[in-house]
Structure 1
Amino acid sequence: MAATFKNIRSVIPLFDRVLVQRFKPETKTASGLFLPSSATSGTLPEATVIAVGPGVPDRNGKIVPPSVSAGDRVLLPSWGGNSIKVGEEEYFMFKDSDILAKIKE
C-alpha cells in the first residue's frame, strides 16, 4: 500500500532513511520515435536522492550520517523500498544501507 501526500516537502526522512525518485525509462528515441510500452516496462535501478534523514546513533550515541545527500544519483536494488505517491509522481523510501552505490557523473 502506498502512502499519499499533497507535497513531497512534507515528507522528512527519519534516522538513516533516504527519499529517492527513480528515473523513468525513455518513451521516445532521440530521433522522435515513440517506444511501445512493452519496450519500456520495468523500473530503472537509478534514482535521484530527494532528502535524507540525520542518521542513526552508534554504540556510543554519536550520530552517524547517511552516506548519500540530496541531489546524489544512486543505484538501487530491484527489491525493497516503501512507495510514496505525490499526485502522479512516485517516490521511494530506502534505508541508507540498502543503497548499492553512488553514481558519479
Structure 2
Amino acid sequence: MAQAQTAKKTTTRLTPLGNRVLVRRLEAEEKLPGGIILPDTAKKKQERAEVIAVGTGKKDKSGNLIPVEVKVGDVILMEKYSGQEITLDDEEYVIVRADDIIAVIQK
C-alpha cells in the first residue's frame, strides 16, 4: 500500500544586510468610495509596506553600530520609487534602505 505524500512548500529565508529592510507592499484599494472598481493596470504602486525582515544596521565613523529604527511587523511609508523589487517563493518583496523609510504608520 503506497503512502500519500504531501508537497512541502519551500520557504526561502532572506536576511537583509546592513541598513536594509525587506518589505511587502500593501495592496491598493480596488474599490473607490463611489463604488468604482479599479483594474490592476489603473492601480498605483503603494508607498505603504509591511516590514518582513530587518538588517543589523550600519556603522558610524567611530565604528559604533546604529541599529535600524523599524522592526518586523511595522507598517511603514517609504519613498515612492525606492528599493529593489524581488520575487521569492512567488511573493513580491522590496528591499529598501532604512534611509528611504519616511515614517512608521501606527493605528
TM-score, normalization by structure 1: 0.79
Provide the residue aligned with 1:7 in structure 2: 11
> How many equivalent residue pairs?
97
Whether the 8 Å CA contact 1:56–1:65 is kept in 2: the answer is: yes
Largest Rg, 1 or 2: 2
Q: Distance in 2 between matches of 1:95 and 1:36?
A: 31
List structure 1 runs of 4+ shifted beyond 6 angstroms: none
- Paired AA for residue 39 in structure 2: S
Counterpart position of 2:3: none
Q: What is the distance in 1 between the residues matched to 2:11 and 2:21?
A: 17
Contact 1:25 1:40 in 2 (8 A): no
Structure of higher RCO (CA pairs closer than 8 Å, 6+ residues apart): 1
Point out where structure 1 has 5 or more consecutive residues left out of the alignment: 1-5
TM-score by length of 2: 0.78
Paired residue for 2:26?
23
| Corresponding position of 1:83 | 85
Task: Give 1:69's aligned amino acid.
Answer: K
Map of 1:68 onto structure 2: 70
- Please state how far the C-alpha of 1:89 moved relative to its aligned partner: 1.9
